[in-house]
Amino acid sequence: MDRPEITCDYLGNARASSRLASALAHIAEQIIAFELAAFYNRRNRQRQIGKRILSGKLQIPLTPEQAAIAAAPPDTKIWLEGIAGSGKTSAGVGRLLRLLELGIPAESILIYVPQRSLAQPYLQALRRHSGYSGGQVAVQTIGGLSLQMVEAFWFLIAERAGFGHPHDLPNFLSLESVQYFMIKIIEPLVNQRDYFNSVRIDRARLYSQIVDNMNKAALVGFPIDQIAPRLKRALPGGVEQGHIYDDAQTCALAFREYCLANNLLDFSLQLEVFLDHVWNLPQAREHVRMRYRHLIADNVEEDNPASHRILADLLRLCQSALVIYDSDAGFRRFLGADPENARRLQGFCDAREQFADSKVMSDEGRALGRALAGQLVAALGGSAEDDPQPSLITEAHRYHPQMVDWAAGRIDELVNGQGVSPGEIVVMAPFMSDVLRFALVEGLRARDIRARSHRPSRALRDEPAARALLTFARLAHPRWHMRPAEFDVAFAVMTAIDGLDLIRAKLLTEMLYRDGRMLPFSDVKSGAMQDRITYELGARYDRLQTWLNNYIEGAPTEALDIFFRQLFGEVLSRAGFGFHDNRDAGNVSMNLVDSARNFRWSLEFMRRYEEGTDLGKDYLEMVDRGVIADFYLRDWIADNDDCVLIAPAYTFLLSNRAVDYQFWLNVGSEGWARRLYQPLTHPHVLSLGWPAGRTWTDDDESAMNRQTLGRLILALTRRCRKEIYLGYSELSESGYEQRGLLLEAIHGLLRRSAADNINGKARV
């Protein structure tokens, strides 16, 4: 293949840069042509060997309607719609396996989902049925696809996109790295100009809302300099609120300018570059057209307008497609989901199919969902003959701890009394606070029932396992002069050593923590105190203390991800320590390892443009500020464990699984219907469907709350096979009375039941 000669002389001036871009474009065309030829050769070989694949090997049990979807001709584009639990994803899995059975190369199949955890049914099916060849099935989100395409065509678009170093490689930032650079760039601006002085929220949450505004602009498709005008037109809140929106936009523009100057791509800039530059390249379109010939797009109602735009183009380019839409969903609206816009995709399909019957919920569960939802939105209600009571179990309590103990006792009856698998039980609330989570975990542990929790979008420092590791990192790196407080050391020691309570951990710390160092257990001079601590726990403490001291003496590294991995693997995960056989602690530890490694890579990249800093110290300071954790797939796929799941309601929904028993706690909380207070952003106003210039009113807020809660109730009941337990306490964990919209709907349902003389069927 003839290649134009490229020398470093091309870097001298603008004309030379233009010649370099032309040369690179020519090379890219040659490479794409070569890849296409290789692709056709592989596909032809695959078709030849396809006959050797046993047809029965890739089959899964399907109903007739699912089998019809799976067996559709490989040149058909199908729109499949239905309620949750009606078997749509199973039909999609069957379609995937059928395509492979026909000898279609795996690498030509694209599974497109809003977030990677929703692709798990497809990946699990591929792992179970390995009798195919031809590469790997591609699983993509809008984030993953845009990253790969921008990276592949970077040198063709970097200069025209306005990057300061178009001949250097890009650096893609995680959510955590974005917050670090935002703090670095925006914090001086905020302090100098006294921005956000009337906003009473944590700085980390404030910066995350600026990031959210930028992401919404990219997903919907408007410039970031239009964020403040949109918010001010729709949310008139006086002069002060207008200044807040202006300040947020000024910060966003300053951050964008810094990213362009230093080849940094946060999600919003990555998406804009992909949509405005890469996707318009003929080479990029041709590459995608030849690579992905068969498309399966699941949960498109949870995706955003940018994804829908890409999917519309893919539907024009691909040979076959299955587009799956979940009715009455769209729970990721706060992340940009637009179910109304997703319906446009059915216009690109040849056939439209609908699954109406649930294969999960019982008749009583269906009745309960319709009855509760109908109390909120009449259009969501069911028949008057529906009897919701048989699937509903509720009990009222005066105090919050009584409700938690009731829930733990009911779970004990199910698991230890009736033999129900813990994995078929989920306990949820609108917000899973530390107090509620701790009380539930300890209550179940006392009854020998395993439990795990999943609470995404929390600060890294908020998890006990992460706090312990971060404290040990400070102890192990004295040159950073970040000596932890005595209580933090006591908490870390208690978390690290199995069987050590907080009182004895505090005693150990008072006696053995001196000048930023941990002393050996033998320095406890009192025999009575040694007996109180116990020599067994003292030996475990000594093992931890010796490891830390050896690390300090052996030239500590600034690579904290290596430190975390070593401490976890050599000490904390061993028998006798707190992380042993603890799935939550293990997940948090590995998330922290990934977080520190990604941060180190990002900062090492930046050393090309500005003087380097101490990466480990910078990371600890960043975490201390309360940065929101990134998305970690391992947290979403841990449902294989036979444990009771404790999670916020929306987290359970987005895992897209069904269970036998659900516990809804704090049903009196307003959090079931009311969105979080976000003074710098608004998910509905910054959406594609909101008319420009229209004012958001209290009536809009009330209607949206009722609609949101009604759909939430339907979604939860459709993911429950047997019974739902409602936990209510008159006083919240903070001691305040609870009178939320969900409680109002429950009271309305019970009043209607009493009027119909069916209250005797309720188990209260």
pLDDT tens figures, 343-385: 999 999 999 999 988 888 887 788 888 888 888 887 666 555 5
> Any residues with CB less than 8 A from the CB of 238 and at least 6 apart, and which?
none
What pLDDT score does 635 carry?
66
pLDDT value, residue 453: 85
Lowest mean pLDDT among 33-37, 468-472, 484-488, 557-561: 33-37
Q: At 14, which amino acid appears?
A: A
Query: Token pair for residue 343?
Result: 């319906």
Structure tokens at 512: 């053995």
> Which run of H or of E encompasses 529?
helix 527-533
Give the model's pLDDT for residue 753: 65
Classify residue 572 as exposed, middle or buried by CB count within 10 Å of its CB (0-12, 13-18, 19+).
Answer: buried
- Look at residue 45 in the predicted model and tell me its pLDDT: 43
In which element (H, E) is residue 351 found? strand 351-355
Report the SS3 class of residue 62.
coil
Given a cut of 70, whether residue 520 has pLDDT beyond it is yes
Q: Provide the pairing of β-strand 320-326 with 294-297.
A: parallel
pLDDT for residue 226: 93
- Beta strand 425-429 pairing with 451-453: unpaired
CB 314 within 8 A of CB 338: no
pTM greater than 0.75:
yes
- 53-150+289-355 falls under which CATH superfamily? P-loop containing nucleotide triphosphate hydrolases (3.40.50.300)
Nearest partner of 300 among 272, 274, 329, judged by Cα = 329
> What is the percent of the chain with per-residue pLDDT over 70, rounded to a whole number?
86
The position carrying tokens 């895992």 is 655
The bridge status of strand 425-429 relative to strand 644-648 is: parallel
Q: Does the pLDDT value for residue 759 go beyond 90?
A: no
Least confident of 29-38, 203-212, 666-675: 29-38
294 with 110: CB under 8 angstroms? yes
* pLDDT confidence bin for 220, thresholds 50/70/90: very high
pLDDT by residue (tens digit) across 632-660?
666 667 555 688 999 999 889 888 889 99
Distance of CA 434 to the CA centre of its chain: 19
pLDDT classification of 337: cutoffs 50, 70, 90: confident
When pLDDT is averaged across residues 407-426 and rounded to a whole number, the result is 94
Q: Could you read off the pLDDT of 536-577 as tens digits, one per residue?
A: 999 999 999 999 999 998 877 778 999 999 999 999 999 999
**DSSP result, 385-443:** T---GGGEEEEEESSHHHHHHHHHHHHHIIIIIH---GGGEEEEESS--HHHHHHHHHH
pLDDT tens string 46-91: 343 333 333 344 457 888 999 999 999 999 999 999 998 899 999 9
CB 705 within 8 A of CB 674: yes
- Residue 365 tokens read as 């569960």
List, for residues 241-291, the tens digit of each pLDDT value. 889 999 999 999 999 999 999 999 999 999 999 999 999 999 999 999 999
- The pLDDT value recorded for residue 33 is 47
Residue 44 CA to chain centroid, in angstroms? 39
C-alpha 162/C-alpha 280 separation (Å) is: 16
Tell me the C-alpha distance between 752 and 221, whole Å: 46
Q: What percent of the chain has pLDDT over 90?
A: 48
Residues 416-431, mean pLDDT to the nearest whole number: 93
Looking at the DSSP bridge assignments, the partners of residue 723 are 661
Task: Name residue, tokens 């319906």.
Answer: 343
CA distance 80 to 84: 12
**368 C-beta neighbours (distance < 10 Å), count:** 27
Question: Under 8 Å CB-to-CB from 200, ≥6 apart: which residues?
Answer: none
CATH topology classification for 363-457+636-761 = Rossmann fold (3.40.50)
Model confidence pLDDT, tens digit, residues 157-198: 999 999 999 999 999 998 888 888 888 888 888 888 888 888
* Average pLDDT for the chain: 84
Tell me the per-residue pLDDT of 607-631, one tens digit each, with 9 for 90 and over: 666 665 678 888 888 888 887 777 7
Q: How confident is the model at residue 207 (pLDDT cuts 50, 70, 90)?
A: confident
The number of C-alpha atoms within 13 Å of 71 and in the hemisphere containing its C-beta is 10
pLDDT of residue 132: 65
Which H, E and C letters describe 101-167, residue by residue?
HCCCCHHHEEEECCCHHHHHHHHHHHHHCCCCCCCCCEEECHHHHHHHHHHHCHHHHCCCCCCCCCC
Give the CA distances from residue 98 to residues 43, 54, 290, 624, in Å, rounded to whole numbers and listed in that order: 16, 12, 21, 50
| Average pLDDT value for residue range 102-123 | 91
Where helices occur in 194-202 by DSSP H, the ranges are none
* 694: DSSP letter: P
* Range in 291-300, 374-383, 726-735 with the lowest mean pLDDT: 374-383
Residue 362, Cα to own-chain centre: how many angstroms?
30
Separation of alpha carbons 653 and 636, rounded Å:
11
- Diameter over CA atoms, the chain: 90
What is the C-alpha to C-alpha distance for residues 349 and 328, in angstroms, rounded to an integer?
A: 21
Residues 546 and 451: beta-carbon distance below 8 Å: no
Query: Which pLDDT score is estimated for 612?
Result: 58
CA–CA distance, 337 with 115 (Å, rounded to integer) = 11
Least confident of 219-228, 590-599, 605-614: 605-614
Q: Is the pLDDT of residue 532 over 50?
A: yes
* C-beta separation of 78 from 350 below 8 A: yes
How far from the centroid of its chain's Cα atoms is residue 36's Cα? 35
